[in-house]
A = this chain, B = another copy of it.
Amino acid sequence: MSATTTGTPLSAVSADAAVDAAAAAARRVTVALLRAGGAAPGLEEITARLEEVAERLEAAAPPLDERQAQLWEGGGAHRHDPVTGTENAIAPPLVLHGQEDGSVEGTVTLDLPYQGPPGHVHGGVSALLLDHTLGVANGWAGTSGMTAELTLRYHRPTPLFEPLVVTGRQVFVEGRKIRTEGAITAGGRLCVSAEGLFIDKHLPRPGRGATTG
């Protein structure tokens, strides 16, 4: 379990650096708002500035169905998901790498937006990271699908502010059933483990038919 993850980066091919930079800045605002709270002077002006930015973006947004078609173009390059999506300010983002042994692994450090118990990661955030990582592990293994059942076991509290290693590995495929496991560790100690049952089935992408396999 390495502190710095190596392997094949499982991310989009055609990055839009300008959108990534804007999302990173929005992410920074989200963290800073929680770190500053009511102590920040000029919050009304800050709100007005953020609203002005939102209005400019909203005015430039295409109709939703057109935007959805754009978002789902290309071969599984999901730059917008809430876990690894560099264009999504909600995503930490986690960067996953495919390993030679068939597993995937990423390292991420979480701040106040992801807090559950004091100083620790929200249990539902761990579930979010693991559900996504198991899905990416299925993709890396070659057969992916939709989550049918997911079980999380919380072995010890997962700390904020220090590197977490998130791993996923496809265990077996039997017909359309896929079994996948994963874990979050901190300093080499197991914090959360996950078992998922996935079904080899996919919702249609906008402008395309339903796919299986």
Within 8 A of B (CB), among A23-54: 23-26, 28-44, 46-47, 49-54
What is the CA–CA distance of A26 and B128 in the complex, to the nearest angstrom?
21
Q: Are A132 and B122 in contact (CB under 8 A)?
A: yes
Q: Are B22 and A33 in contact (CB under 8 A)?
A: yes
Within 8 A of B (CB), among A133-152: 135, 146-152
- The stretch of A82-90, A98-106, A169-177 in contact with B is A82-90
- Which interface residue of A26, A49, A117, A132 has the most chain B CB atoms within 10 A? A26
Chain A at the B interface: mostly helix, strand, loop or mixed? helix
What is the CA–CA distance of A61 and B148 in the complex, to the nearest angstrom?
42
What is the CA–CA distance of A83 and B113 in the complex, to the nearest angstrom?
10
Q: Are B36 and A117 in contact (CB under 8 A)?
A: no
Contacts of A129 on B, CB cut-off 8 Å?
124
Q: Are A29 and B32 in contact (CB under 8 A)?
A: no
A123 within 8 A of B: yes
Q: Are B154 and A151 in contact (CB under 8 A)?
A: no
Q: Are B81 and A60 in contact (CB under 8 A)?
A: no
Contacts of A146 on B, CB cut-off 8 Å?
117, 123, 154, 157
A68 within 8 A of B: yes
Contacts of A68 on B, CB cut-off 8 Å?
118-119
A62 within 8 A of B: yes
Contacts of A152 on B, CB cut-off 8 Å?
127, 147, 149-151
Contacts of A151 on B, CB cut-off 8 Å?
149-152
**9 pairs, A vs B, C-beta closer than 8 Å:** A21-B47, A22-B33, A32-B53, A35-B67, A40-B57, A71-B115, A127-B152, A147-B154, A150-B154
